[in-house]
């Protein structure tokens, strides 16, 4: 693992300047919270405002969308033609994939912390002492998102195919997870479909922990994301092909 | 001189198409081997196999007598590759590019800094070290591409068309760089479509076509062998051996 540190440092530098990651995980969610919060302001009361609702549900949704940004970042070396250098130097696949995984997870988590901080500051979202737990959940989600994004980016040659393939399920998960409007009032028959969205569990976990002091859903959901991230990274390493990476 | 590299009957197929067929040659320490052939001859595939980017379907490659498939790390530490395409980060300074790629060879601290300075000075870019390659000319980018490959001090350097699309001054600088490196003990495999470069630089020339080695001789032997066929230059020999038909190949 001698090459993990230099690649990790380089990846941190590149990911923290990554336009897509910064835009879709800080600027875009801030604008959406502001816009939807304003549009739906009359549907919510003063105790729990629309701004607070969207400040809770939008960051995990934008984090899920980062699968596409991470897949794009996974193909950085191919686009820059530097993959050749990595593959002809004494860098192992494990070092390369783990460095990309940890750096993207950290940068995505930092983006989430910034947007939660903005929600606290500008939209007066109170976490009732659950801020650290919410960050933990988003960190776990970032792990899963990075794992899946890296796996797709490294396994698939065509980025636009990944983008088109992933956009639809992400949007469906968003709708089912109640990102755009609350779905609890829909037909109970739909509840099993709603429950299939990971965002349903993320949003429930966050709301239950903030407003109910119940952390079970948050911790179980975090654990599931952790597992998914680990499995995705295992697949990314096992199925890594030099020819595809170059 | 000892054999540094032994290529022993390596082959590569893509589907039903044989790209490299039982290729064999030896490389002695201190050689500058010109690797020439028309488009689609199998040069890049051969280089990719030697650089461990591709595994041969059959045959083996020995470095200092050791099969590189077993001792990949030791081989890779001794290998420098200048790829045909520019392999640099345009958004990192010249210094950071060389430093990063050099650090992949386990160099750290003062030694790393010294190697980076030496490599950038060697290619004439030390004064431009803080600038982004996106502001560099084609020739400067090519030189940076070389600096990234030589900073760790490779024993074997593979250069795949390092002078493509640059001005004569930069080309001359690169050719001098190769000669100086070779003078310091670096063994070089050099591919180019510019026959005059091969003629000036290489002591041995390997001519490939359709995945096979057609000739592997030292420069003088080529000229003596083909003089009777009316070939005066290396380009004449190249066209005589490989023919004048156009080679429109797909990657």
Across the range B11-38, mean pLDDT stands at 90
B72 in reach of chain A (CB within 8 A): yes
pLDDT at B12 over 60: yes
CA distance linking residue A104 with residue A21, whole number of Å: 9
pLDDT at B216: 87
pLDDT digits (tens, 9 = 90+) for B162-211: 888 888 888 888 899 999 999 999 999 999 888 889 988 999 999 998 88
pLDDT digits (tens, 9 = 90+) for A18-77: 888 999 999 999 999 999 999 988 888 777 888 999 999 999 999 999 999 999 999 988
Candidates B53, B100, B106; nearest CB to A84? B53
pTM of the model: 0.88
CA distance linking residue B33 with residue B129, whole number of Å: 31
B111 in reach of chain A (CB within 8 A): no
pLDDT at B27: 92
| Cα first-last separation, chain A | 22
pLDDT digits (tens, 9 = 90+) for B46-102: 999 999 888 899 999 999 989 988 778 889 999 999 988 899 999 899 999 999 999
Cβ within 8 Å, pair A246-B72: no
Where is A74: in which H helix or E strand?
Answer: helix A50-74
Kindly list the structural domains of chain B, giving each domain's residue range(s) and its CATH number in brackets, ordered by start: 28-52+71-242 (3.40.50.300)
User: How many Cα neighbours within 13 Å face the side chain of A124?
Assistant: 5
Cβ within 8 Å, pair B53-A242: yes
Which of A1, A6, A157 would best serve as a mutation to test chain B binding (most B beta carbons within 10 A)? A6
pLDDT at B40: 83
CA distance linking residue B204 with residue B47, whole number of Å: 16
Candidates B52, B88, B90; nearest CB to A88? B52
CA distance linking residue B40 with residue B56, whole number of Å: 17
* Best CA proximity match to B219, nearest among B227, B228, B211: B227
Burial A121-141 (b: 16+ CB within 10 A, else e): eebebebeebbebbbbbbbbb
pLDDT digits (tens, 9 = 90+) for B110-131: 999 999 999 999 999 999 999 9
| Long-range pairs of B128-131 with CB within 8 A, sequence gap ≥ 24 | B128/B94, B129/B93, B129/B94, B129/B95, B130/B93, B130/B94, B130/B95, B131/B93, B131/B94
Cβ within 8 Å, pair B76-A17: no
């Amino acid at each position: 693992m001698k090459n993990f540190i230099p690649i990790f440092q380089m990846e941190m530098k590149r990911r923290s300047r990554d336009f897509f990651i910064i835009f879709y995980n800080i600027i875009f969610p801030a604008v959406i919270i502001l816009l939807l919060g304003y549009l739906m302001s009359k549907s919510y009361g003063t105790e729990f405002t629309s701004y607070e609702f969207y400040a809770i549900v939008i960051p995990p949704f934008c984090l899920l969308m980062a699968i596409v940004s991470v897949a794009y970042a996974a193909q950085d070396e191919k686009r820059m033609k530097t993959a050749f250098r990595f593959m002809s130097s004494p860098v192992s696949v494990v070092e390369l994939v783990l460095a990309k995984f940890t750096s993207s997870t950290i940068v995505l988590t930092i983006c989430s912390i910034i947007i939660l901080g903005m929600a606290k500051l500008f939209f007066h979202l109170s976490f009732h002492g659950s801020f650290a737990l919410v960050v933990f959940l988003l960190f776990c989600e970032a792990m899963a998102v990075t794992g899946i994004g890296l796996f797709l980016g490294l396994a698939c040659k065509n980025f636009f195919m990944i983008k088109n393939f992933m956009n639809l399920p992400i949007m469906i998960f968003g709708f089912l997870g109640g990102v755009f409007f609350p779905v609890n009032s829909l037909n109970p028959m739909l509840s099993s479909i709603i429950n299939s969205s990971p965002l349903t569990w993320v949003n429930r976990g966050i709301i239950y922990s903030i407003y109910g002091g119940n952390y079970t859903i948050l911790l179980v959901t975090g654990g599931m994301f952790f597992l998914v991230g680990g499995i995705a990274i295992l697949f990314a390493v096992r199925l890594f092909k030099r020819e595809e990476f170059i | 001189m000892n054999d540094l590299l032994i290529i022993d009957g390596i082959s590569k197929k893509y589907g039903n198409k044989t790209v490299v067929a039982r290729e064999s040659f030896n490389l002695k320490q201190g050689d500058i081997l010109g690797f020439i052939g028309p488009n689609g001859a199998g040069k890049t595939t051969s280089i990719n196999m030697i650089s461990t980017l591709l595994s041969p379907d059959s045959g083996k490659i020995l470095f200092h007598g050791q099969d590189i498939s077993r001792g990949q790390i030791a081989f890779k530490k001794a290998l420098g590759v200048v790829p045909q395409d520019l392999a640099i980060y345009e958004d990192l300074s010249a210094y950071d590019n060389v430093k990063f790629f050099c650090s992949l060879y386990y160099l750290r601290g003062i030694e790393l800094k010294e190697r980076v300075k030496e490599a950038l000075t060697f290619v004439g870019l030390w004064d431009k070290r803080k600038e982004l390659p996106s502001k560099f000319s084609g020739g400067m980018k090519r030189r940076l591409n070389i600096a990234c490959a030589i900073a760790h001090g490779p024993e074997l350097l593979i250069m795949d068309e390092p002078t493509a699309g640059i001005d004569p001054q930069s080309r001359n600088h690169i050719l001098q760089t190769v000669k100086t490196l070779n003078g310091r003990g670096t063994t070089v495999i050099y591919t180019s479509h510019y026959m005059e470069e091969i003629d000036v630089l290489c002591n041995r020339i390997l001519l490939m076509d359709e995945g096979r080695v057609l000739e592997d001789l030292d420069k003088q032997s080529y000229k003596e062998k083909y003089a009777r066929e009316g070939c005066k230059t290396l380009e004449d020999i190249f066209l005589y051996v490989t023919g004048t038909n156009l080679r429109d190949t797909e990657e």
